[in-house]
Structure 1
Amino acid sequence: MCRHLAVLGPCAPLGASVADPPYALVRQSWAPRRQRHGTVNADGFGIGWYADGDPRPARYRRAGPVWADPSFADLVRVVRSRALLAAVRDATGPSGDGEAAAAPFTADRWLFSHNGALTGWPESAEPLAPLVPPGALLRLEARCDAAFVWALVAHRLLAGAAPERALAGAVVALAEAAPGSRLNLLLTDGASVTATAWGDTLWYLTGPGERVVVASEPYDDDPRWAEVPDRTLLSADRTRLSLSSL
């Protein structure tokens, strides 16, 4: 369920990554090629990006399908950035959360997305609730599992944990509390990307020009795309990429 991607590279229109490629994230909202769970990603979408000189990202999110929003098409055509994170949300049950449930979630300089599902939600999260300060729980943007996962990760980040430790620690805790969960997490601060492959697909593409793309699935047929093994932590910036077992 859901599709997401993060990009670090030279300054370019947002649409060069999310809309223009033949199998871009916009197309993945109705015709994903490698999605294992769910069939259509129409319950919201979002994109976050960084402007030069400002460490805090901007966001654009909506509750409906991305293909029905002409403003999004205009935005990604003209706005340029060196870093972005975007996501489309799988069709789910009725909810009053609206666009608040759509990634990316944010705190300080971070953008975050969760591709997957927490089994037994919300009861399975009860043992983990004490790991998050009460104020942070009260400030949850939405009542969905992804917002709670972000609360766990954000608490670790804001307490000073490195992004690799924040994601890995959250995934291990969530997997123990809710076995069988799918926990593909994606995080960026505009300078680095950290991600987990846990129960769903994750791919990466690196190339000349100090560019790296991490995505649920390839957005074109470039042979340089490589799949990340399941239960793996990915860490990358514009010049290096590493994989380690979770």
Structure 2
Amino acid sequence: MCRHLAYLGPPVTLRELLLDPPHSLLRQSWAPRDMRGGGTINADGFGVGWYPDSGPPVRYRRAQPIWTDPTIADLAAVTSTTAVLAAVRSATVGMAVVDAAAAPFAEGRWLFSHNGVVRGWPDSIVPLAAELPVRDLLTLDATTDSALLWALVRHRLRAGLDPARAVAETVTSVAAAAPGSRLNLLLTDGRTVVASAFGHALSLRATADSVLLSSEPHDDEPGWREVPQGHLVRANATEVHRQALGVAVVPDQLDGRGSR
């Protein structure tokens, strides 16, 4: 399984979010507390996307373990932002391990990440993939379930759906086509964030002016709340809303092979 997080709020450095906390995303890459569904570490790449004062988000993605990258610590120390999406990756057996396979995926102001696995890949999701424009399939970032999930969400966004509905419809359609899938998705445009808890853990900590969604709490401070399974979170820096997805979570059907 991958580990991911999204933050909206007052300016922070990437180091404060990704490296400094006692159970930071860096530590989760080699010592995660919750790897249900397979895998033991998240060493198949990492990525971080953040929003500068103007323009589209900036991304830094690599296909190596985050702890081996010589640049990320220096970059994180000097980069301050009000919105971040980041992930460390544990690749499903047989899927590409390349820079482009690491989240976050992006288009315009959107950043996207997936923590989980599509059960029965790729056969189970062929009917859903067939609904996408051929060009979208030919230009996937990588031959992975996460890249296809991003294409499904992006197709709905392009059609004018609001982000919460785009994520909810993607989760419910994939869950129906591939029962047992783990579909924890994160989507942000730097102002709002949408997250699903579907088959894996997701925690939330909100203050008066910030929200942090993370696969695992990055410290033992009070204020963390676990998002119930089968629920969707919609949030900005000052408000958090939760709703049921209306579809059963059945991750026990997974065979435990190294999912993301």
User: What TM-score results when the alignment is normalised by the length of structure 1?
Assistant: 0.97
Which amino acid is the alignment partner of residue 88 of structure 2? V
- In the alignment, the residues of structure 2 paired with residue 234 and residue 131 of structure 1 have an alpha-carbon distance, to the nearest angstrom, of 26
Secondary structure in 1 matching 2:71: helix
Give the drift of 1:131.
Answer: 2.1
Distance 1:130 1:92, change over 3 A: closer
- Alignment match, 1:234: 233
The answer as to whether partners of 1:211 and 1:238 remain within 8 angstroms in 2 is yes
- Alignment match, 2:250: none
- Alignment match, 2:141: 141
Q: How does 1:124-203 map to 2 (within 5 A)?
A: 124-203=124-203
- Alignment match, 1:222: 221
The answer as to whether partners of 1:97 and 1:143 remain within 8 angstroms in 2 is no
Structure 1 unaligned segments of length 5 or more: list them.
Answer: none
- In the alignment, the residues of structure 1 paired with residue 117 and residue 149 of structure 2 have an alpha-carbon distance, to the nearest angstrom, of 10
- In the alignment, the residues of structure 2 paired with residue 18 and residue 148 of structure 1 have an alpha-carbon distance, to the nearest angstrom, of 26
Once superposed, what is the RMSD of the aligned Cα atoms? 1.0
- Alignment match, 2:257: none
Structure 2 unaligned segments of length 5 or more: list them.
Answer: 246-260
Give the drift of 1:160.
Answer: 1.1
Distance 1:96 1:230, change over 3 A: closer
Give the drift of 1:95.
Answer: 4.6
- In the alignment, the residues of structure 2 paired with residue 44 and residue 159 of structure 1 have an alpha-carbon distance, to the nearest angstrom, of 31
- Alignment match, 1:204: 204
The answer as to whether partners of 1:43 and 1:90 remain within 8 angstroms in 2 is yes
CA deviation digits over 1:124-153, x for unaligned, max 9? 111101221111111101000000000000
* Paired residues, number: 244
Identity of aligned residues (%): 55
- Alignment match, 1:11: 11
Give the drift of 1:176.
Answer: 0.7
- In the alignment, the residues of structure 2 paired with residue 11 and residue 102 of structure 1 have an alpha-carbon distance, to the nearest angstrom, of 25
CA deviation digits over 1:1-51, x for unaligned, max 9? 000000001111111111110000010000011232321000010000000
CA deviation digits over 1:101-135, x for unaligned, max 9? 10000011100000000001011111101221111
- Alignment match, 2:53: 52
Secondary structure in 2 matching 1:165: helix
